[in-house]
A and B are shown apart, each in its own frame.
Chain A
């Protein structure tokens, strides 16, 4: 075997601490090495050309590159070698940067270690075999989970590219939080006006299958080939018959008993309801927990009035399965509760702000509803307790955010902006009103964001006070807000009529469960984890599963939309080819020695081990052995280490290769 060795200086990264020419010289004397050289940037075009040239001229069979981590450039060098005619998997990388130059200071010692690392790699590559990438077929359909603005955007992008999308939304309507917003920063355009056309587009799109009031129950399979089971919750209304006339909701006797989720509890809805007039689909559902019929067996008012005979009290949850190639998770966020909920141990809550005891202490989404033309006050700023116009309003930022003792240590990122928006909307509607904002810092990074906040302060004369509020209590219908002005160094007391808490954006409570169903990671707060914080922000560690919007971290609409389009693009990349290429680094079972103990099945984190029956020519069952599903196997090697009869080999990391490396080390 003719081996070529290439030592990269990585500019000064390796060259500063490792004497690269000396390493190259030492390598030249290793058995099997027929070519050795060093260069400043091996990954650059001239660098790659050196490798290609040597392969052609010296007829190399294998290549060892001493460079940065294989994470960085293994692919680059493999491609270069392949283009010069040798198999990509005849290339090994010795990590001279992360494993050597970056962590050592002494040049002589580091050089010595670099030579050793190179020798190990050279010994290893002698046992490499040419491998072929694995090809798996791709189902060119997407599943989008969550129908907020992120899910809507992702679904439309994919559908407009000509591929089918299944959009699963757990609520009766799509739209998410954006449908609740009044006007949006930094342009103050009406949220519904920009959102509803897109919701309708989703509904009418021939390529989008909308499953509302549904949840993902189970996911099997792997990138390009997922099989998803979806629970369609019983709406008690036959979707295909309903025309959305709304008569049922109008006549439903439970008018005042159920709090409207859409209006954040500031108004009531009937037992049979659509969340809001522009809902998509415009089909009501019966909330069985409050419906008189489901409680007492009597009523059936909706059934009586429905001219389409669409009401079906006997409807059950049903399950459908969908085959898809990619999954986009866009399940969004929820708000930190200002009510006392001791059973939710994730946060301690704010007793000093009244724990939802005072009707006039509300959260940001409630203010959005009050300010919204479609809200419970038709857009007039009226406080909940007595429906009067508040003349003094106090906004408190960072409630639950940036507060480890009561909530979360992260910044919710959007509340500085929406608080400025709220204060502005208030001033635009209540001209003689006074608005105060208590803040810790104003974080308004973003295009036209800082200007927006300055406008609130300078043009709309919102009073910004830097400091925390220590206590709120109600006295004679006024909310006494006690705080500190840390810039003036003085205590402040404001007698307010309405207080709005900018509570933290937090992960959906069932996010960890969904993450487990999808086999993706989530962080300690319950937000889904990206594959790489910088270079793979919308991918997850599970191939074919992508993230969009506020289910990943607090995000505003522009960021959510951008992320959704990115996730859609990632799906489309997948759909660009008929077959999917995968690294051949997977486990392989030696069927002749496999004893069928299936320890490997127990330890495999990716459910990649299946059972295979071995039969003789007469069709009699001889034995059952382990079989690796090449689509699912991630090449982690756990089974390889577990197998008691050593019947599993990890291709590309087999015993011969590893032992060659270790033996080379022992010879040192």
Chain B
């Protein structure tokens, strides 16, 4: 299977471990990821708050590149990139005037027919049976809280075909590889997203709510599929620890990292050392080791030694 790969900016920056874990997983599964040549920014939040045309045209450029480079499927693991790409594709299909304008800018005819898929969809496409077959490590000792955030399941008509208000597609993947998930209440609550920069206090509060609820329902780890969610929940947890007394930190893993663990891929290759919240206790728990009752904060903050 030849798969077009649109990593987007985050996966080359703050979400490097998303990128590396994903590549490791796909090579283990014998799937060729071919990075889109000469890809550019999807526009993210900045484009659509600046100019609507820009927010459609920037993804359109990448969509056309993918077409020209002969891809049928394009994997966009970042939830924001995914959302921008599918939104733009839909608008170009429905709004002829917009399509003509964008064609003008790109100086080429826009053709349709590309499949844009996100991380959850690609696992569904590969087939849960195949994942099961390749399973090497048992993760049944830990419980995962699957966190979808906003962009994976919204807007309802174009995003992941799942229930917008109580999705469960991530859970079914984890359950398929023998993992346990918790039934919790904050699956789709907002993490604060880009407010992280300007209103850190708000984001801390929102993330605190999400983390607390996951823990309350017995989760050992929160699983995400979005770089923004990850950085808010993982990085901002340091501040949360400072501002909320007695906060119990919880590791935040990308779905690809968890699947990587199941496939027996080396922890370092999966980038599990690059987290702000130490993943070691979780890894120990998976292996069945007794978890230390209290891990000193400094140790948690540093992350595992690479």
Contact = CB atoms under 8 A, between A and B. Distances in A.
B185 interface: yes
Contacts of A351: 163-166
A636 to B, nearest CB: 40
Contacts of A352: 165-166
Contacts of A350: 165
Interface residues of B, number: 8
A351 B156 CA distance: 13
Does more than half of chain A's interface fall in helix, strand or loop, or is it mixed? mixed
B218 to A, nearest CB: 13
A455 B123 CA distance: 58
B165 A475 contact: no
A627 to B, nearest CB: 54
A355 B164 CA distance: 13
B216 interface: yes
Nearest to B186: A473
Interface in A457-500: 473-475, 480
Contact of B166 (A355, A474, A475): A355
Contacts of B216: 475
A155 to B, nearest CB: 44
Nearest to B216: A475
Does more than half of chain B's interface fall in helix, strand or loop, or is it mixed? loop
Interface in A215-260: none
Interface residues of A, number: 9
Nearest to A352: B165
Interface string B40-63: 000000000000000000000000
Nearest to A472: B185
Interface in B182-222: 185, 213, 216
Count chain A CB atoms within 10 A of each CB in B156, B165, B185, B216 and give the residue with the most: B165
Nearest to B167: A351
A351 B154 CA distance: 14
The 8 closest A-B pairs by CB, nearest first: A351-B165, A473-B185, A351-B166, A352-B165, A351-B163, A475-B185, A351-B164, A355-B166
B150 to A, nearest CB: 13
Contacts, number: 15
B93 to A, nearest CB: 21
Interface of B: 156, 163-166, 185, 213, 216
Contacts of B165: 350-352
A372 B67 CA distance: 65
Contacts of B185: 473-475, 480
Contacts of A474: 185
Nearest to A355: B166
A473 B164 CA distance: 15
A84 B216 CA distance: 90
Nearest to A473: B185
A115 to B, nearest CB: 47
A405 B165 CA distance: 13
B214 to A, nearest CB: 12
Contacts of A475: 185, 213, 216
A480 B186 CA distance: 12
A351 B164 CA distance: 8
A350 to B, nearest CB: 7
A480 B216 CA distance: 15
A243 B236 CA distance: 73
A473 B188 CA distance: 12
A605 to B, nearest CB: 37
15 contacts: A350-B165, A351-B163, A351-B164, A351-B165, A351-B166, A352-B165, A352-B166, A355-B166, A405-B156, A473-B185, A474-B185, A475-B185, A475-B213, A475-B216, A480-B185
A352 B165 CA distance: 5
Count chain B CB atoms within 10 A of each CB in A350, A405, A475 and give the residue with the most: A475
B193 to A, nearest CB: 17
Interface in A69-125: none
Contacts of B213: 475
Contacts of A473: 185
Contacts of B166: 351-352, 355
Count chain A CB atoms within 10 A of each CB in B164, B185, B216 and give the residue with the most: B185
A356 to B, nearest CB: 12
A474 B213 CA distance: 11
Interface string A349-380: 01110010000000000000000000000000
Nearest to A480: B185
A75 B291 CA distance: 92
A353 to B, nearest CB: 8
B163 to A, nearest CB: 5
Contacts of B156: 405
A551 B213 CA distance: 45
A568 B163 CA distance: 47
B164 to A, nearest CB: 7
A405 B216 CA distance: 33
A352 B166 CA distance: 7
Contacts of B164: 351
